[in-house]
Structure 1
């Protein structure tokens, strides 16, 4: 069974568009393989100290775990940790515990590695909005142990209340939240710069303004509570036809990079390893999930953004072939860097987790 994303929701599709590894093109020296297959609507990935890899999902409503016990780059054990959730897309691991975001709530699986066969879980926070539209999440812990959680707009375009269009930090002890960023339509991917520790995030631009506007965005947070324009302005200075009247573009932060319209950037990741060539180190991997409402499809690829002094100076393809001749074979979602420097990449259309590795031999 395949799934397609329309109006922000995944629907089953009977189209026969099975992906094959030789469809996907990578630069010389790189190799793609399957870490795990049949991972229904795989989304964000996380890893424990012992090597267990976890995956959230979208419409599958499941949380998975995998182990590669013989270190050959292929998962040979798997577990279904939980089923029947709403959209457990965001996951993070810290201090032995697995955290899963399921729209309005955060679920904790304590000491997960010791309980893979019989996992225990508890809801530790349930005060986020219940809207499913842009309600799916991405999770990451900051350097102070705060859980970073986005809450998207409950619409394509609207001026919602203070509970939406933001990135929050959640203190798991006090259960208090703090606004990290405002004016964020729908971020489903972020990472901290390895040197500056600034939070960089992707944001999906609004729909129904045409094929080529507004752009999707890569942004970085320079101060707490910074406003990135939604719903008043998009990209650098594109006024929204419904909400931009009477507003000034200069009142809002501009993107680090304007992407093509509707490419739907999801996961982003600063590569920290040493397996890939030097030109990849400290630079940003971007998963362009792909358009759904464009007359000619865009996105459907993994990109490399070169970052220099806080600016993106180059943006080029790393993996292509997920879409060919307007036929969708896959949609990249999120990244997980492994200890050996290889990178896992989830695909919620092909239901795969790929492993990207490099060798100069």
Structure 2
């Protein structure tokens, strides 16, 4: 009612004074209805709330499925084991519906083909790669390419509908830094590469940091803890954005060229405040537990997102939204780098959750209630007293503001509540042609299938 009073106070005050009680009640109903319609809210689907037994084929019921396992999923969903693949990481669905899965530690990308009611057929799609990671299909002038990242280069293959092995390999980006780079002497903490391609046929490559936090990556050539942009054929390389410690998930909002990433932030941060605690410069476990948050953010051309000089602070009224930065004690205690000039992080995620795969669900066959949203696989923490992550996070998407809403759990339960025993670690997600969400887990070596059944 306050909206209408503010618009026409005299008119509505007169009506209320002179109206009969019935008219007043009708008026209030109309006004309340108008207010609801005039201030639409972001639809929030149901969060994971139902403990659901995982359906496991007998042929796949070895550890950890040698006992009954449960995951918490939203109402009207079921979850099953679709395939067992050791070290399964990133995935892509081929135009004909086949599933490709990277297996970095074996140097392979596998192809998984549906086989009716029987177990899927799993075979080698390409072998002999250097820790392959991300997989992206992209079409240019009626030619479909399959891009696969290695630690030291980006390949593309010409894909023909129904191919079960890789064909016509081209190396489009070579000499990327990895553990074989001479100056690094075998030490590269985050050498796996992630990629994305936009509708202008620009290729984005994440070159993550070699370290937890260091200065060397900020002055290297190419810059590390950064994203580079290339033409789709690998030509015209240039620095696109920096200050991103380890951008694992790279994805574009469907129908746009807006690039978003999920970033693993630093560990063992030192307390940055000179205050009464006398903790300045110390590693305080209770502070490390929640700082700095992981990052889910939009990337602009020329952006700098702070690492290792500036860390997003979740302890203000903003919470996890557009957080201000604190100066890093180790590398920016004197403020020589202006943290106010850094690009703020759009959305924070609980520190040490280790976000990996990032999937926009728009324009997929996933259930419509959830399809205007984003899923991020949270691989799980090590640098935290109480473990966190080990679940799929879902963010509803505000199409008007072009921003994510508040995080809810889509799938959780890979940690046994009582014992804190870890039995699975989700990595990536894709939606298949039937609208199921496929989930990779490199810890148990599993591809799960999350399926929806509409209520009757």
TM range (shorter): 0.7 to 0.9
Residue 33 of structure 1 is matched in structure 2 by 80
Report whether the alignment pairs 1:53 with 2:99: yes
Query: Is contact 2:130–2:152 with CA below 8 Å preserved after alignment?
Result: no
Gaps of 5+ in 2: 1-61, 180-187, 270-287, 313-322
- After superposition, what is the alpha-carbon deviation per residue over 1:85-140, rounded to whole angstroms, capped at 9, x for unaligned? 33211111234432211111112333365652575644332121123421102222
Q: Does the Cα contact within 8 Å between 1:98 and 1:112 map onto a contact in 2?
A: no
Q: Is the 8 A contact 1:276 1:357 kept in 2?
A: no
Shift of 1:166: 0.9
Match 2:331 to one of 219, 236, 243: 243
The CA deviation string for residues 51-91 of structure 1, in whole angstroms up to 9 with x for no partner, is 22111123232210111143x6x762221133343321111
Alpha-carbon contact 1:185-1:205 (below 8 Å) kept: yes
| Alignment of structure 1 residues 286-325 onto 2, 5 Å | 286-308=376-398, 309-324=401-416, 325=419
Q: Is the 8 A contact 1:180 1:226 kept in 2?
A: yes
Q: Is the 8 A contact 2:157 2:166 kept in 1?
A: no
> Are residues 116 and 196 of structure 1, via their aligned partners in 2, closer, same or farther at CA, if it must alter by over 3 Å?
closer
Q: Secondary structure at the match of 1:327?
A: coil
Compared CA separation, residues 192 and 114, structure 1 to 2 (3 A): closer
Question: Could you tell me how far 1:17 is from its partner in structure 2?
Answer: 6.4
Q: Which moved more, 1:244-253 or 1:107-116?
A: 107-116
Instruction: Flag the structure with more relative contact order, 1 or 2, with Cα contacts below 8 A and sequence separation at least 6.
Output: 1
* Aligned partner (choices 180, 191, 201) of residue 145 of structure 1: 201
Higher-Rg structure is 2
The whole-number CA distance in structure 2 between the counterparts of 1:174 and 1:27 is 42
**Could you tell me how far apart the structure 2 residues matched to 1:322 and 1:167 are?**
31
Unaligned 5+ segments in structure 1 are 1-15
User: Which of the numbers 64, 75, 78 marks the counterpart of 2:122?
Assistant: 78
Distance 1:233 1:17 in 2: 43
- Which structure's residues are more often strand, by fraction? 1
Matched, 1:346 2:440: yes
2:423 maps to 1:329 = yes
- Is the 8 Å Cα contact of residues 71 and 412 (structure 2) preserved in structure 1? yes
**Alpha carbons 1:21, 1:33 under 8 Å: kept:** no
Q: How many residues align?
A: 341
SS in structure 1 at match of 2:413: coil
Mapped to 2, the partners of 1:118 and 1:204 lie a distance apart of 31
Instruction: Give the whole-Å Cα distance in 1 for the aligned partners of 2:207 and 2:79.
Output: 33
CA deviation after TM superposition for structure 1 residue 288, in Å: 0.6
Paired residue secondary structure (2:406)? strand
For the pair 1:267 / 2:315, whether they are aligned, the reply is no
Hey, what's the Cα distance between the residues in 2 that align with 1:75 and 1:99?
27
8 Å CA contact retained: 1:48, 1:96: no
Say whether residues 1:184 and 2:253 are aligned partners: no
Shift of residue 275 of structure 1? 4.0
Which one of 212, 215, 222 corresponds to residue 293 of structure 2? Answer: 215
Per-residue deviation, residues 266-289 of structure 1 (Å, max 9, x unmatched): 1111112354242x2221111111
Q: Distance in 2 between matches of 1:117 and 1:218?
A: 34
Equivalent residue, structure 2, for 1:4 = none
> Which residue of the partner structure matches residue 356 of structure 1?
450
Counterpart selection for 1:168 from 228, 242, 257: 228
**1:162 Cα deviation after fit:** 4.6
CA deviation digits over 1:205-249, x for unaligned, max 9?
Answer: 10112222111111112x312111111112231321111232222
2:284 aligns with none
Give the superposition deviation at 1:153: 0.8
Q: Which residue of 1 aligns with 2:304?
A: 227
Picking from 214, 230, 243, the partner of 1:158 is: 214
Distance 1:17 1:297, change over 3 A: farther
CA distance in 2, matches of 1:149, 1:203: 14
RMSD of aligned Cα (Å): 2.3
